[in-house]
Amino acid sequence: MQEPMNLQGKVVLVTGAGSGLGEATARAFANAGCAVACVEKNQPALERVCEQLRAQNTPCLALPCDVREADAVFAATQSAGERFGHLDILVNCAAIDYTFSIEEMSIDQWDRELAVNLRGPFLFAKAVFPWMRKQGGGHIVNVASTAAVRAWAGASAYHASKWGLLGLSRAGR
């Protein structure tokens, strides 16, 4: 049986940290003794989570960021790296889901869903690679869901993005 990883003092960057799985992930890493860089587009949600983490003495950096925007992603990653001196773990949790048939879904909704769910993780991976290479390693976790391996009606963009994310994850660097 493998010993659990000691996360004390690690720096974790979590996307989508203002709600849902991203928030739960940020809290779990904080409880494990990590510093947490929280990325979220919704600024009030981001501030709420970071205030709560700081109240429990977790070093926390609030990074308002649209994961679809390359400049914002690279700036957020740079801010986190500079603030904490290193980046050990990236967890790509940010995701959206429009549940419409292809006929009902707009082109803008399709593009937005793939940009958040697939482009965002690609951009963050690209942004953290130099930090992780410089420090000799790190971990990237892409949250894909069961939608990456099975499909159901009315979620074509979600499935396309999550199957793509699984492919990105398996392809490595």
CATH number of the domain residue 81 falls in = 3.40.50.720
Does the predicted TM-score (pTM) go above 0.85?
yes
Residue 111 falls within a domain, yes or no? yes
Residue 90 falls within a domain, yes or no? yes
Instruction: Report whether pLDDT(5) > 90.
Output: no
Residue 133 falls within a domain, yes or no? yes
Q: d(Cα 104, Cα 10) in Å, to the nearest integer?
A: 44
Distances (CA, A) of 120 to 3, 15, 32: 32, 9, 26
Q: What is the pLDDT of residues 90-148, one digit of tens each?
A: 999 999 998 888 999 999 999 999 999 999 999 999 999 999 999 999 999 999 877 76
Domain that holds residue 74: 11-171
pLDDT band at 2; cut points 50, 70, 90:
low
Q: How many structural domains does the chain have?
A: 1
Residue 6 falls within a domain, yes or no? no
pLDDT for 173: 61
Q: What is the pLDDT of residues 59-79, one digit of tens each?
A: 999 999 999 999 999 999 999
Residue 122 falls within a domain, yes or no? yes
Q: Which of 127, 158, 159, 164 is catalytic?
A: 158
Residue 117 falls within a domain, yes or no? yes
The answer to whether 42 touches 65, Cβ cutoff 8 Å, is no
> Which stretches of the chain are assigned E, i.e. beta strand?
11-15, 35-40, 60-64, 89-92, 139-142
Residue 4 falls within a domain, yes or no? no
Residue 3 falls within a domain, yes or no? no
| 158 carries an active-site annotation | yes
Q: d(Cα 116, Cα 70) in Å, to the nearest integer?
A: 11
